């Protein structure tokens, strides 16, 4: 097994600061509900909301399509739903990675049915090569090639979330 650094801790911090500045400009003076998609987005979401200069209400949604595999199963599983009523509220969905877009398409459809005032997406990573379900990413950290990445909240079978950088996972070495 080998892990090669793809995006450094410093690069992540700098990009999150810029994203937070954009979000602050858009939502200044508005009530914002930040919805963190668990488990992978928890590190990104925590760092992002700490950089915001506006008050937010936090909630969590647990959705996945990977299980313990490096490839999406195509089946969406929702284990934890929102507790807050988002009707007529501005909602910012925070995700770790948009890969095929299947998970996000389903989550966005589900949340849109609850009639929020607005629903936008912040994603740390985007894999254009694997995207089969188009999702509009309003605030994007980084576009990456078709690699299996870990660290900074992203995992392989529950491991490696604690890494402070984003690395490429390989079983070769």
pLDDT, tens only, 33-76: 999 999 899 999 999 999 999 999 999 999 766 555 545 555 66
* Residues with active-site annotation: 99
Flag the least confident range among 24-28, 39-43, 74-78, 167-171. Answer: 74-78
What percent of the chain is helix, strand and coil (3-state, nearest 5)?
Answer: 25, 35, 40
Burial of 119 (0-12, 13-18, 19+ CB in 10 A): buried
Question: Among 88, 103, 110, which residue's Cα sits nearest to residue 39?
Answer: 103
Domain 8-146 annotated CATH 3.90.45.10: no
- pLDDT recorded at residue 68: 52
- pLDDT recorded at residue 28: 93
Enter the pTM of the model. Answer: 0.89
**What is the C-alpha separation between 42 and 45, in angstroms, rounded?**
5
- pLDDT recorded at residue 73: 52
Q: Tell me how crowded residue 135 is: count the other CB atoms within 10 A of its CB.
A: 19
Instruction: Give the CA-trace dihedral at 142, 5, 96, 150, to 10 degrees.
Output: 150
Query: With bands split at pLDDT 50, 70 and 90, how would you rate the model's confidence at 80?
Result: confident
């Amino acid at each position: 097994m080998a892990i090669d650094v793809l995006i450094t801790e410093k690069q992540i911090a700098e990009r999150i600061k810029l994203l937070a500045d954009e979000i602050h400009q858009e939502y200044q003076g508005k009530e914002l509900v930040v919805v963190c998609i668990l488990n992978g987005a928890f590190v990104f979401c925590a760092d992002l909301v700490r950089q915001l200069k506006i008050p937010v209400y936090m909630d969590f949604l647990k959705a996945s399509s990977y299980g313990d595999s490096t490839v999406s199963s195509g089946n969406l599983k929702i284990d934890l739903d929102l507790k807050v009523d988002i009707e007529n509220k501005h909602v910012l969905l925070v995700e770790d990675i948009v890969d095929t877009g299947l998970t996000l398409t389903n989550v966005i459809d589900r949340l849109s049915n609850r009639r929020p005032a607005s629903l936008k997406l912040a994603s740390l990573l985007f894999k254009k090569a694997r995207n089969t379900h188009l999702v509009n990413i309003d605030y994007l950290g980084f576009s990456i090639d078709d690699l299996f990445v870990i660290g900074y909240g992203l995992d392989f079978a529950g491991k490696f979330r604690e890494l402070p950088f984003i690395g490429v996972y390989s079983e070769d070495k």
